[in-house]
């Protein structure tokens, strides 16, 4: 593109690695491009699989060259220049750092009155003590500046409630659920057979699956402790860092995985053992879309996602988690519950619904 007025949507996000926010942005950006309104995507940090995916789809991606944990003042002015160059009608930022960076750059650009700005918050009750001082300062600053954007979008009811309690006071809070690609995440008997054969898992073995990076909020210690209490259960874990988890009987560690849907198809239950911080868990909803009943800790909007298609348990209690996994795996109506899980995601949390909600919101600004 040249420097001519653009007038579309610019997305600003902290990074373009693999995660729920990044995946949702990619789906939205590609839908916008398919509709003839390609957006511009700006990442604070360089690289990442999602960046390559967007570029392959013909979407312009820029990065500000920032390094996590290291202040980079020049990045603010680089983003200001991009805003002046493209003159977006809508600036949609994603996650704490990007929200603040976008607010500062838009203010310096001289285009604030011509650009609608929406913040995006993707988490709920973060245990801030588990993270460094810089992250805590960014979250606190978000509360101080939360009235600057035109609205704050959240992907969970829990996220809205938690941030109100943290002192966030925007002009509007808007709930926009994550959306699941129900064509990609679907029951797949052939993949089930293939993946089980690959890992030498017997057809009758109960398999639980988890997709989450290794992070304090995901509480893998809780999941591994629960696995120790279960007999004849295999757990397949996917996500950055999972390949480094302790070598435990019944545990298959895949690390970052590009075939999550196929692995889910080989499982019997989707399990989320998170301790805190989740907003809308993509992993729970993706597993359910694959026809898996869910066992999830009562964190974020897990209860709203799961409904009657699984079991919700208290966090940080491995005995209760193990008991819930065992009970649900033995239920005679487990297959029926799996079908109900799939139907719930199709009806309430499809990608089409989420994209439509974002595009409706962005059209208000354009």
pLDDT of residue 68: 80
Backbone angles phi, psi at 227, to 5 degrees: -60, -35
- Whether the predicted pLDDT of 220 surpasses 60: yes
Q: Is residue 3 very low, low, confident or very high in pLDDT (cuts 50, 70, 90)?
A: very low
Please give the residue that has the higher pLDDT: either 1 or 241. 241
Task: Break the chain into its structural domains and give their ranges.
Answer: 9-179+351-365, 189-348
Tell me: domain 9-179+351-365, CATH 3.40.640.10, correct? no
Average pLDDT across the chain, whole number: 94
The stretch 339-359 carries a mean pLDDT of 96
Q: Is residue 117 very low, low, confident or very high in pLDDT (cuts 50, 70, 90)?
A: very high
pLDDT of residue 5: 55
pLDDT of residue 2: 43
Give percent above pLDDT 70 in the chain: 98
Cβ neighbours around 205 below 10 Å, total:
14
Which has the minimum average pLDDT: 4-18, 233-247, 262-276, 324-338? 4-18
- Whether the predicted pLDDT of 103 surpasses 50: yes
pLDDT of residue 1: 39
Contacts of 101 (CB under 8 A, 6+ apart): 12, 44, 64, 75, 76, 79, 93
Q: Name the pTM for this structure.
A: 0.90
Superfamily (CATH) of domain 189-348? Glycogen Phosphorylase B; (3.40.50.2000)
pLDDT of residue 366: 62
Write out pLDDT tens, residues 134-175: 899 999 999 999 999 999 999 999 999 999 999 999 999 999
Evaluate whether 9-179+351-365 and 189-348 have a shared fold.
yes
């Amino acid at each position: 593109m040249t420097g001519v007025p653009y007038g579309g949507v610019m997305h600003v996000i902290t990074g373009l690695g693999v995660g729920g926010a990044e995946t949702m942005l990619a789906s939205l950006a590609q839908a916008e491009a398919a509709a003839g309104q390609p957006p511009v995507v700006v990442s604070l940090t360089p690289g990442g699989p999602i960046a390559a995916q967007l570029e392959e789809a013909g979407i312009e991606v820029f990065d500000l060259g920032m390094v996590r944990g290291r202040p980079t003042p020049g990045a603010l002015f680089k983003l200001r220049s991009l805003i002046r160059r493209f003159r977006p009608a809508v600036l949609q930022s994603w996650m704490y750092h990007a929200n603040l960076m976008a607010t500062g750059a838009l203010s310096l650009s001289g285009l604030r009155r011509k650009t609608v700005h929406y913040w995006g918050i993707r988490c709920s009750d973060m245990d801030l003590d588990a993270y460094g001082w810089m992250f805590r300062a960014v979250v606190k600053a978000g509360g101080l500046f939360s009235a600057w954007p035109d609205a704050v979008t959240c992907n969970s009811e829990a996220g809205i409630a938690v941030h109100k309690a943290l002192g966030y006071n925007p002009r509007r809070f808007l709930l926009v659920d994550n959306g699941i690609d129900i064509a990609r995440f679907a029951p797949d008997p052939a993949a089930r057979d293939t993946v089980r054969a690959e890992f030498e898992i017997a057809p009758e073995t109960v398999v639980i699956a988890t997709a989450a990076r290794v992070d304090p909020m995901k509480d893998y210690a809780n999941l591994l402790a629960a696995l120790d209490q279960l007999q004849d259960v295999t757990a397949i874990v996917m996500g950055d860092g999972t390949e480094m988890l302790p070598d435990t009987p019944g545990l298959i560690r895949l690390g970052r995985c590009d075939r999550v849907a196929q692995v889910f198809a080989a499982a019997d239950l989707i399990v989320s053992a998170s301790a805190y911080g989740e907003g809308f868990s993509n992993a729970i909803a993706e597993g359910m879309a694959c026809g898996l009943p869910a066992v999830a800790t009562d964190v974020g909007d897990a209860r709203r996602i799961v409904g009657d298609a699984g079991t919700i348990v208290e966090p940080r209690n491995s005995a209760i988690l193990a008991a819930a996994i065992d009970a649900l795996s033995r239920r005679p109506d487990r297959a029926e519950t799996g079908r109900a899980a799939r139907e719930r995601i199709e009806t309430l949390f499809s990608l089409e619904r989420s994209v439509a909600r974002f595009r409706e919101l962005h059209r208000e600004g354009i």
